[in-house]
Structure formats: C-alpha cells, structure tokens
Structure 1
Amino acid sequence: MRTLVWLLRALVFFTLFAFALNNGHEAVVRWFFGHEWRAPQVIIVLVAFAAGAAFGVLAMVPAWWRHRRAAQRAEPAQASPTPAPDTPATPYAAHQDGV
C-alpha cells in the first residue's frame, strides 16, 4: 500500500513538473489603472493556487473556532467519568480460592 501511495505521489509530481516545463513562456496579468505583472505562466498559476488555498483556509477559521469552543464547553461534562467496576487482578483470581 505504501508503494502505491509513493507511486501516486511521484505521478502527481512528474505531472506538475511537466506542466511547469511546458508553460514556461511569459504571461501578463493586467491589473487596474494600467499596472501589469509579467511572469512565467506557471508562476502565475502557482500564485493563484496558493492564494485560493490561503483564502479557503481563512474562510474555514471561524467554523474551526466555533467547533473548538463547542468542544471546550462539552469537555467539563466528560471530565468526571464514572469509575470502572472492580475487577480481579488476574482472570483466574476467583478460581484460586477454592482450588
């Protein structure tokens, strides 16, 4: 199974590497008021991906905080578990008295 995971990782890496090699030509991102950014196309795609991932993580932060607060409020109720019933130290302790 580990070999299969590493093969999948290698496939993804080489696919992205081939994408980077094939898209090395310069591209232009035109901003407002005549500003533009010239960079290799693969860099622009990677920056857009990183910005999207960062935006997604930041969008999830309020939900994570809500769940964390709810878990902390529920934690004190679970802090005092009921004691376990008394069990013999060995499984044969009950039979040793009569034998």
Structure 2
Amino acid sequence: MRTIVWLLRALLFFTLFAFALNNSHDAVVRWFFGHEWRAPQVIIVLLAFGLGAAFGVLAMVPSWWRHRRAAQRAEPMNTLPTPMTDTPATPFAAHQDGV
C-alpha cells in the first residue's frame, strides 16, 4: 500500500513539474486603474490555487468551531471509559487454578 501511495505522490509531483515547465512564459494580471503584474504563468496559477484553498479553509473555521463546541457539550472529554467486569484480567486466568 505504501508503494502505491508513493507512486501516486511521484506521479503528482512529475505532473506538476511538467505543468510548470510547459507554462513558464510570462503572463500579465491586469488590476484596476491600469495596474498590472507580470509573472510566470505557473506562479500565477499556483498562487490563485493557494489563495483559493486558504480562503476555503478560513471559510470553514466558524463551522468547525461550532461543531467542536457542540461535541464538547454532548460528551465531556474528561470521562474515562469504564472497564468491563465480566472478562478475566488475563486470557489464561480461568485455567490457572488447577494447572
């Protein structure tokens, strides 16, 4: 399974690397009021992806906090599970008395 995961990671890396090599020419991002920014196209695309991912994570934070508070109210974290009393302490406890 680890081999498959590493192969997928290598495939993703080489795909992104080939994408970067094929899109290394300059591109222009035109802002308002005549401002523009020139950079390699791959940088612009990866920056847009990173900003979109960061925005998505930040948009989810209030929902995560709400769910976390609801889960903490539903079940306190400091309770320990109670051990079962009908099971022997060791697997061989039933056979130790006569043998």
TM-score normalised by the chain length of structure 1? 0.83
- 1:53-92 equivalent positions in 2, closer than 5 A: 53-76=53-76, 79=79, 81=81, 84-85=84-85, 87-89=87-89, 90-92=93-95
What displacement does 1:3 show? 1.0
Corresponding residue number in structure 2 for 1:25: 25
SS in 2 for 1:27: strand
Output the aligned Cα RMSD. 2.2
1:77–1:18 Cα change, 3 Å: closer
Taking a change above 3 Å as real, the CA distance of residues 9 and 81 of structure 1, as seen in their structure-2 partners, is: closer
Q: Point out the structure with the larger helix share.
A: 1
- 3-state secondary structure, aligned to 2:28: strand
- The Cα of 1:81 is off from its aligned counterpart by 4.9
Residue ranges of structure 1 left out of the alignment (5+ in a row): none
Find the aligned partners of 1:32 and 1:57 in 2 and give their Cα distance: 27
Count of matched residue positions in the alignment of Structure 1 and Structure 2: 96
| Shift in alpha-carbon separation, 1:80–1:6, aligned structure 2, 3 A | closer
In 1, distance between residues paired with 2:43 and 2:77?
A: 51
Encode CA deviations 1:25-57: one digit per residue, 9 max, x unaligned: 000000111111100000000100000000110
| Matched-pair identity in % | 79
Give the unaligned 5+ runs of structure 2. Answer: none
